[in-house]
């Protein structure tokens, strides 16, 4: 892969063009950022571990009838993916309170939601990725009403599949973020990644955090948490 094939470099991934105009290669980086890029660092082996974790989870979802952009894992740190036109929103599903919902609404960390709680955020670092309501989504024409309902349905279905998968591996799926896009045929497809960068994972018995919160909050043992999550995800 040479530089002229580089389509886009984000905070955690590089997107490369491939010979197939309908496919891109997503290379996962060791770089880590938090707080809209204000905190920067590196997490050793994160690229390889997140690529593997994401590939396994996307395959699990495919097996359960969810369309994802994953085509194949082509290098240790690189996934071949269907090209999508991404929606400008992030979808967060929360099973337990943590992170921004505690700051915004005063939930105690770890409080169980009565039912999975879904939130949309606008993808715009310059605005700090603000929460957007259905009314905001309509006013800004971010996603059509039908697509928004379908995205909500898919996100909750994904939550059910992943929550069970992680519970079987001694992990609480506290919350996670998804990004969806549209493929060339107009289907809504899951894109981006699912990894300890984009989820909160707590060990079910000790409640130890096994995700990027260890980096965000300087809790130490960051690499070990990613290594442990890869091990759990690889458990049959």
CA distance 117 to 93: 6
Q: Which residues contact 185 (CB under 8 A, 6 or more apart)?
A: none
Q: Binders of ligand ASP: how many residues, by CB under 6 A? A: 8
- Select the span of 35-43, 62-70, 115-123, 150-158 touching ligand ASP (CB under 6 A): 35-43
Among 56, 99, 203, 204, binds ligand TMP (CB under 6 A): 99
Helix (H) or strand (E) run with residue 158 in it: helix 145-167
> With CB cut-offs between 5 and 8 Å by kind, which of ligand ASP, ligand TMP, none does residue 100 bind?
ligand TMP
Q: C-beta of 25: minimal distance to ligand ASP in Å?
A: 21
- The residue nearest ligand TMP at its CB is 99
CB 162 within 8 A of CB 66: no
∠143-107-150 over CA atoms, to 5°?
20
Q: Which residues contact 46 (CB under 8 A, 6 or more apart)?
A: 28, 29, 30, 32, 197, 223, 226
Q: Which of residues 74-93 bind ligand TMP (CB under 6 A)?
A: 92
Q: C-beta of 19: minimal distance to ligand ASP in Å?
A: 31
- Select the span of 78-86, 144-152, 173-181, 222-230 touching ligand TMP (CB under 6 A): 173-181
> With CB cut-offs between 5 and 8 Å by kind, which of ligand TMP, ligand ASP, none does residue 37 bind?
ligand ASP
Q: Which residues contact 126 (CB under 8 A, 6 or more apart)?
A: none
Name the DSSP letter for residue 183. Answer: -
> With CB cut-offs between 5 and 8 Å by kind, which of ligand ASP, ligand TMP, none does residue 216 bind?
ligand ASP
**For residue 215, how many other CB atoms are within 10 A of its CB?**
23
Binding of residue 33 to ligand ASP (CB under 6 A)? yes
Binding of residue 32 to ligand TMP (CB under 6 A)? no
> With CB cut-offs between 5 and 8 Å by kind, which of ligand ASP, ligand TMP, none does residue 31 bind?
none
Q: String of b and e for 88-127 (b: at least 16 CB within 10 Å)?
A: ebbbbbbbbbbbebeeeeebeeeeeeeeeebbbbbeeeee
- Select the span of 15-23, 132-140, 149-157, 197-205 touching ligand TMP (CB under 6 A): 197-205
Q: Which residues bind ligand ASP (CB under 6 A)?
A: 11, 33-37, 212, 216
């Amino acid at each position: 892969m040479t530089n002229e094939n580089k389509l886009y470099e984000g905070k955690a991934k590089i997107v490369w063009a491939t010979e197939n105009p309908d496919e891109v290669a997503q290379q996962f980086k060791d770089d880590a950022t938090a707080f809209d890029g204000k905190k920067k660092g590196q997490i050793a082996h994160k690229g390889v571990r997140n690529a593997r974790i994401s590939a396994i989870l996307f395959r699990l979802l495919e097996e359960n009838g969810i369309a994802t952009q994953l085509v194949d894992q082509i290098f240790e740190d690189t996934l071949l993916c269907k090209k999508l036109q991404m929606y400008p929103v992030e979808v967060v599903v929360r099973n337990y309170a943590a992170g921004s919902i505690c700051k915004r609404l005063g939930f105690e960390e770890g409080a169980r939601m009565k039912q999975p709680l879904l939130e949309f955020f606008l993808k715009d670092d310059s605005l700090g990725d603000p929460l957007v309501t259905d009314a905001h989504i309509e006013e800004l024409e971010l996603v059509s009403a039908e697509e928004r309902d379908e995205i909500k349905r898919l996100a909750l279905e994904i939550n059910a599949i992943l929550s069970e998968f992680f519970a079987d591996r001694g992990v609480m799926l506290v919350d996670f973020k998804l990004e969806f896009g549209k493929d060339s045929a107009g289907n809504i497809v899951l894109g981006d990644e699912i990894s300890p960068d984009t989820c909160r994972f707590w060990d079910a018995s000790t409640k130890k955090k096994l995700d990027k919160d260890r980096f965000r909050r300087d809790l130490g043992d960051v690499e070990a948490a990613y290594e442990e999550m890869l091990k759990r995800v690889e458990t049959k």
